[in-house]
Amino acid sequence: AGTHWTYTGSVGQSHWSEYFPECGGTKQSPIDVKTSQAKYDPSLPPVRPLGYRQLGQEPFTLTNNGHTVEMSLPGWMGLGGLPWQFTAVQLHLHWGSRGGLGGGSEHTIDGHGYAAELHVVHYNSEIYSNISTAMRQREGLAVLGVLIETGEDTNPAYQNIINHLENIKHAGQRTSIPAFDVQSLLPLSLERYFRYNGSLTTPPCYQSVLWTVFAERVSVSHVQLRKLETALFSGHAEESQSLPLQDNYRNPQPLNRRTVLASFP
C-alpha cells in the first residue's frame, strides 16, 4: 500500500481506487465532453483571470514532482466570474509520449483527445484558509483546463516553461524561472467553456473541483511538445530505475448523473 502511485502498472490508474477510495467515486475527472449533450447556460459569465498578467519581484518556481512539472503561482492571482473568490496556487501539465498521436490530454471532446493539457489550480479562499483544507471540501477547488494541440508555430508563452525543463530532469528538483504573463498560456476566448463538478485527476481524487474546460484550444509546436514529452524523468537522480515522465494523463471517467454546462449555444 502506501501512497506511491503511477499511471500504468501494478499501482496504475486501474488500481487507484484500491488505495484511494474516492478514485472510485461517481463524480470523477477527467471526462469526455459530449458537446451535443452539454446544456447551454446563458448565465455563465466569461472566466475572469485576476492578476494573471501582473509581474511581481519574485521569480516563479518550477518543480518536477515525479508526476508532472508544476509551477507555483503568487497569491495575488485568482479567478473571478465564479460563485466564490478563488486564489491561484499552481499550474501543471499532462502529456503523452508519441508527439500527441496517442493522446496526452485528460479531458477529451466528443471522444477526441489532444496532445497535452494545462491545469491552473485555485482554491476557494472565501470559505477556506488554505488548499489542503479546501481540496477535501465540495467546490473547494476551481481548475482551469486548456487543451493543447500541435501546429507549426512556436508558442512563446509555453516556451517560458519548456526552456527550463533541462534543469529539473529528475523528481524532486526545482528551479527559479523569470516571471511571465500567465494569462498568455490561456486561449484568447475566455467566454466559451464547459463547466461541471468533478475531482482531482490524481490520487486521492477528492471530488472537490469545479472544472472549467475551455472550448478554444491553444497550439504549441511539434518541437515544443517533443521537449515536454522527453525532458523529464519520474524518479530521483540517484535511482537507477528512473523512467521518462510520459503519459501522465488519466483516462475519461463515467459522467454518471452529472450535467455538463456550456457557456455558449
Active-site residue set: 67
Q: Which residues pair with 147 in a beta bridge?
A: 117
200 binds, among ligand SG7, Zn ion, none (CB under 5 to 8 A by kind): ligand SG7
162: Cα separation from own chain's centroid: 16
| Binding residue for ligand SG7, selected from 70, 161, 193, 213, defined by CB under 6 A | 70
Q: CA geometry: angle at 255 spanning 264 and 263, to 5°?
A: 10
Residue ranges in the chain assigned as alpha helix (H): 16-19, 131-134, 156-162, 222-230
| Binding residue for ligand SG7, selected from 202, 212, 234, 253, defined by CB under 6 A | 202
Amino acid 184 reads: S
Phi, psi of 110 (to 5 degrees): 50, 45
How many CB atoms neighbour CB 171 within 10 A? 19
Give the count of alpha carbons within 13 A of 137, CB side only: 15
80-119 footprint of ligand SG7 as x/- string (CB under 6 A): ------------x--------------------------x
- The minimum distance between CB 174 and Zn ion, in angstroms, equals 18
Rounded CA separation 213/29 (Å):
12
Rounded CA separation 240/234 (Å):
11
Q: Verify binding: residue 227, Zn ion, rule CB under 5 A.
A: no
- The minimum distance between CB 250 and ligand SG7, in angstroms, equals 8
Here the cell at position 147 is 487543451
Nearer residue to ligand SG7 within complex by CB, 66 or 100: 66
Which residues in 170-199 contact ligand SG7 (CB under 6 A)? none
| Binding residue for ligand SG7, selected from 47, 79, 143, 161, defined by CB under 6 A | 143
Choices 13-21, 38-46, 62-70, 161-169 (CB under 6 A): range interacting with ligand SG7: 62-70
Nearer residue to ligand SG7 within complex by CB, 62 or 221: 62
Q: Verify binding: residue 245, ligand SG7, rule CB under 6 A.
A: no
DSSP 8-state symbol, 250: P
Closest among 162, 146, 161 to 217, alpha carbons compared: 146
| Binding residue for Zn ion, selected from 107, 119, 122, 195, defined by CB under 5 A | 119
Nearer residue to Zn ion within complex by CB, 54 or 89: 89
- Binding interface with Zn ion (CB under 5 A): 119
